[in-house]
Amino acid sequence: MHIQFFGAAGTVTGSNFLLSDDRRYGVLVDMGMFQGSAELEELNHKPLNFDAREVHSVFLTHAHLDHCGRLPVLPKHGFSGKAYMTQATKEIAEVVLRDAAKIMQHDKEKPVLYTKEDVFDFLNLAEVVSYGQELDLGNIKTTFRDAGHILGSASLEMQILDMNKKLAFSGDLGNSPEELVKPTEYIKNADVVIMESTYGDRNHPEDNPDETLIGEVNLVEKDRGTLLIPSFSVERTQALLYKINKFKKEGKINQTTTVYLDSPMGERVTEIYKKFSDLYSKELSEDFKTGDPFSFTGLKVIQNSQESQQIHAHDGPKVIIAGSGMMTGGRILSHAMHYLPDPTTRLLIVGFQAENTLGRALEEGVKNVNIDGKHVSVNAKITSLHSMSAHADQSKLLGWLGKISGTKSVFLVHGEDAARIPLQGEIKKLGIAQVQLPELNEAFEI
């Protein structure tokens, strides 16, 4: 049995791993979009490195674009098997993939990877599974465990019967305990572990995300300025809405402060979150009983691009939550062009910013940026809030791995080398000597 790494090998995007044996029996885990630099994004348009007709099954760990974003190309290349995922993942993936297809149709510079029809062709192959349910696929038995990352996210246990060997795919592990979803489930044993390493080089700051968010809102209330929050449509947007709802109820921010949700995809995903209260954390479950936890006085949901532009004419303190989370596209860009030159503007970064993204450049303190060909001066105050990340940090990654007995080798994926190399050293201290840092397209025997 071999595993080959066709994405997220030295980067945090493009997750895509193929298990295959001498009979050319293929099992694919995730097939995400590459995001960030032009060189990375070009990989989305390269020919497939495997024969999709020989892939028997696909497992989708969760519905973030960097894990599901290329899956609709599979049926076009002959894949006719089943794609296994949780119900919440299926519903969120439909929103995410349809949005990606729409964006592709309007991008005049890059070839179209797939259409909305291709999205539905892929989703017609989806088979919904529950956490704890064992799937018997002949030589491979697979069980989904709650990864605690976003709604519906999963880690995978795979038992390869004829080798008597067990694999564990972490997927993306949550920063448990999370406000919105249940804690990360542990896996008891595995011979081989394929583990994410997004924050493998650091622990999240001890700062209080609630205090930081309240402080940022209070400052724009005082200065009658604007708080820009570039936010991922899945999980981060819902977490922000939930927090602001709570702060307004507690009187920690003004009821009259307008909060614009300028993310059509974020709005659609929020509606999906409302459907799966059985997956909520204990805290959110209690709040859900008393009303909509994602809505509050002063929330304005923007319906179209015209309404989005009209925000700029509104005076007074305001918060704008808009996609995309790394500022690589979406409506946050027009707001950034308008507001970044204004010293009363505050930009709050609430998620990981990949290399060569606008979000990373602003986080690193650049004072001039180019947005859609326009020179923009940066006079806004930039604040990063990494403790709100939905990813496990180094200590939590090691804690998750440490609960798995019998591990002989680990492959670190979904992390830049600056994060993978320190984590590799820490894992070796646990007594696991074989810790691999796979490169793109590299294959290993397992």
Query: What Rg do the C-alpha atoms of the chain give, in angstroms?
Result: 21
The fold of the 2-202+390-445 domain, in CATH, is: Metallo-beta-lactamase; Chain A (3.60.15)
Beta strand ranges found along 147-298 (DSSP E): 154-160, 165-169, 192-196, 226-230, 258-262
d(C-alpha 268, C-alpha 265), whole Å: 5
Q: What per-residue confidence (pLDDT) applies to 389?
A: 83
* Distances, alpha carbon 236 to alpha carbons 216, 230, 321, 391, in Å: 17, 10, 10, 11
Question: Could you give the CA distance from residue 317 to residue 297 in angstroms, rounded to a whole number?
Answer: 15
Residues of the chain with pLDDT below 50 are none
> In degrees rounded to 5, what are phi and psi of residue 298?
95, -5
Nearest to 414 by CA among 49, 170, 73, 70: 170
Q: Hey, CA dihedral for 293, 131, 446, 430, is it positive or negative?
A: positive
| pLDDT cut 90: percent of the chain above it | 90
Sorted by where each begins, the domain ranges of the chain are 2-202+390-445, 209-388
Classify 110 as helix, strand or coil: coil
Pairing state between β 345-349 and 381-384? parallel
**10 Å Cβ neighbour count for 78?**
12
Q: What angle do CA 362, 367, 370 make, to 5 degrees?
A: 75
Find out whether the peptide bond into 324 is cis, omega within 30 degrees of 0. yes
Cα 249 to Cα 434: distance, rounded to the nearest angstrom: 51
pLDDT at residue 155, rounded to an integer: 98
Contact 32, 66 (CB under 8 A): yes
CATH node for 209-388: 3.40.50.10890
pLDDT in tens, 131-149: 999 999 988 999 999 999 9
Q: What is the pLDDT of residue 352?
A: 83
Element housing 337 (H / E): helix 332-339
